Every structure is written in structure tokens, then in C-alpha cells.
Amino acid sequence: MKKTVLFILMLGNLSAFGQEVLFLKDPAIDSIVPHWGPNRRHYIHPYIAIGMAIDGGEQGGRIRQPHFFDETRFGFRYKRRLNGVFSLGGDLLYNVQNYSLRQDSLKILPDTLLYKKQRMLFHQLRGAVFIRINYDKRGNRLGNYIDLGAYGDFNFAHIMYTRIKNADNTLTRAKTSRLKYFNPLGYGLHARVGFNLFSCYVQYRLSDFFYPSKHLPELPRLTAGVEFFLKK
């Protein structure tokens, strides 16, 4: 009888010891939810984009259309997931707007001279913020979503390229920089519809490219394009 009781007590101690050891074990690494990923708390990815002007600009400064590379960009986007529906985010990017001006009797931008070809380039550093609305089940993917936000530009360079046809049918090319009539700061609104690894965007520039005192016609304000993501 004593041996039986002693055996039962030993089994009880072994069981308690086994439970204690299991309790002290660290959880499996696979059970820890990561904080970084397309549908996690934080996510950063690079992207490229091309766009085209929708409106042709104001009279006197109209551009040639259609032209599918009025805008090109490369940037990085950060997204902070709030819950299953909403996220906040921001962009930092390099943007180039490239407009080929129409040459006709109404042109006054930046002068009334008519050229064989005339292009205006704006090199910009841009920061943007947005709120994201997700509307489908997506697992650890970006999925489908709508972004609404605003942006600000620093136009650090404005360059004009011209080509003149001479009387002897030769061409004279010129590059003009350090132009003083354009506004270095800009801002506007933007929206996006995303489909996992690419998105379609539209943006509207609220600010003026040129100082109001110069009385120059404005270039296109409305632009639409496609973004391609370089990271899953």
C-alpha cells in the first residue's frame, strides 16, 4: 500500500514538473505576427509612374495632345495600417513634368515667338499624404483600395528647350534655364484607385506655375496616370 501511494505521488510530481517546463517555453517564432508587410501595420515600397495631361492648359499656353509622357516620377510610399479598412500614408518622390507647347498665333508663353518645337520641363521634389480606404479581403497583399490626399511641390528647376528652323533649313537648338517667372512652390489634390501591384491616379494642381504678376497663361492642371509598384 505504501509503495502504491509513493508511486502515485511520484507521478503527480512528474506531471507538475512537465507542465511547468511547457509553461516556461518560449512561443514558436511562427506564432509572432510581423509588423511589416503589405497588409501589416507598416509598409514601404518604391514605385514608378507615367501620366498625361487631361486639360490642354489655358489659351496662349496650350500644349500638344495627346502626349503620354507629360509626367514621369519615381518615389517611395509609406503606409500605416489603422484597422481592416483605414490606413494613413505618405509619399516622397521625384517628379518631372514635360510639356510640348502648341505653336500658333495665340501663343504667348513665355513670349509670342513661334518655334519649330518648344518644350517646358519642371523638375520637382514632392511630398504627399493620403488616407486609404480598403474594400476587399486581401490577406497579406495591398489588395484593392482608394486613396484620397494632398501634395506639395518644390520646383527646383525649370528648363525650356526650343528648336528654330532657319531660312537655310538648318535647325538651331537652345536650352534656357534659371527662368525667373515660375513659382518654386506648388500644391494640389490627388486620388488613387489601387489594384495590388499598380494603381491609377488623378491629380489637380491648385497652385499656379507662374507668378500672377507675370500674367502668363497656366499649363494643364489636371493629370492622370498609372503607377507601377517595384515591390510585392
Written as one string, the DSSP assignment of 15-71 is HHHHHHHHHHSPPPGGGSPPSBSTTSSEEEEEEEEEEEESS--STTS-B-S--TTSE
Three-state DSSP class for residue 11 = helix
Give the span between the Cα atoms of 226 and 110, in whole angstroms: 30
Label the pairing between strands 86-100 and 117-134: antiparallel
- Residue 199 has which C-alpha cell? 494603381
Give the span between the Cα atoms of 183 and 109, in whole angstroms: 15
Compute how many other C-beta atoms are within 10 angstroms of the C-beta atom of residue 87: 21
pLDDT score at 30: 53
Residue 79 contacts residue 91 (beta carbons within 8 Å): no
Angstrom distances, CA of residue 96 to CA of 20, 48, 107, 135: 64, 12, 23, 32
Give the span between the Cα atoms of 192 and 146, in whole angstroms: 6
| Residue ranges of domains in the chain | 34-229
pLDDT score at 152: 98
Give the span between the Cα atoms of 108 and 56, in whole angstroms: 15
pLDDT score at 135: 86
Residue 162 contacts residue 173 (beta carbons within 8 Å): yes
Look up the CATH architecture of domain 34-229: Beta Barrel (2.40)
Residue stretches of the chain with pLDDT short of 70: 1-33, 232
Q: Phi, psi (5° rounding) for residue 3? A: -65, -40
pLDDT score at 207: 97
Q: Which amino acid is at 60?
A: G
- Residue 152 has which C-alpha cell? 506639395
pLDDT score at 33: 63
